[in-house]
Structures are given as C-alpha cells and as structure tokens.
Amino acid sequence: MDYQQYNHNQDTNKTSAFNDAVFQIQRLNDIWTSCNRDITNEDLIKYKKNLKKAEIELIFDAKNITSKYRSDDDKNINYVSQIYELNRLIQYYEIKKNKYKLFNILTLKHALLREVQEKSGKGGKYRDEDEDDFSD
C-alpha cells in the first residue's frame, strides 16, 4: 500500500488489544519493593531516585485524576501540583542537608504517589466482608 493512499483515519476507532496497565503495575511493585529496601538501608539518595521512577509512571494518572475532579468542588484535588511542591521541598532540604526533614518529605511523596496509584485503579482491590468469594 502506498503511503499516499493510506487513510490515517481508518485506525482511529480501534482499541488496543494490548494493555500496558498490567506491566505498569508490575513496574510499580518493583519500585515500591526497592523503596522499602532503601528505607530499611537508610539510603535517601536511592529512595529519592526510586520515588522519581514512580512519579514518572504515575504522573499521567495524576493529571487525569486532577482533571476528573476539577469540576467537583468537594474533590478538588490537584495531585500534580502536590507532587511538584514536594519535589521543590525535596530539593530545598537536600541543599540544606537536613536528612530528617528530607526523609519526612520523601515519605509524604511516597504516600501521595501510592494514593495516586490507588485512585487510578492500579492499586489493591478490596473486598467487602459481606460479599461472597465468587464475585469479581
């Protein structure tokens, strides 16, 4: 087929049969495992780098969640600005060489990113105690 004859609009209504969400969840699991190891080893540099990897994985979801709730006054959550503000504080406490405050900010970022993962539907699945084991 000649490039000139190809109709670019013919593929626009197709849905991908391949979904990257499973692989993203797997990558995030590896990142969270590394973060827990970094906390145990008190390695703030590696912890920060692993949180940046998680941020890269989740920033698109954070943008989607933020825009989804922007119209709802009760749930006006701007995850993107919160992430950027935490990044600014991380940089500030690194410059100040305050490891205690740096660790606290890193753990806040960790918790925020886990919240983004959960709200995007890529976290754990919870079961109501009243449900039987046969439902999805």
In a domain, 70, yes or no: yes
Cα(82)–Cα(69) distance, integer angstroms = 15
Per-residue confidence (pLDDT) for residue 119, from 0 to 100:
92
Per-residue confidence (pLDDT) for residue 62, from 0 to 100:
93
Per-residue confidence (pLDDT) for residue 74, from 0 to 100:
46
pTM value? 0.75
62: which DSSP letter?
A: H
Q: How many domains does the chain have?
A: 1
Asked if 65 and 116 count as a contact pair (C-beta separation under 8 A), the reply is yes
In a domain, 74, yes or no: yes
Judge whether residue 12 has pLDDT over 60. no
Judge whether residue 26 has pLDDT over 50. yes
Judge whether residue 89 has pLDDT over 60. yes
The neighbour count for residue 102, using CB atoms within 10 Å, is 21
Average pLDDT over residues 118-131: 75
The neighbour count for residue 31, using CB atoms within 10 Å, is 21
How many residues are there in the chain?
136
Cα(57)–Cα(14) distance, integer angstroms = 24
In a domain, 51, yes or no: yes
In a 10 Å sphere around its CB, with 0-12 CB exposed, 13-18 middle and 19+ buried, how is residue 24 labelled? middle
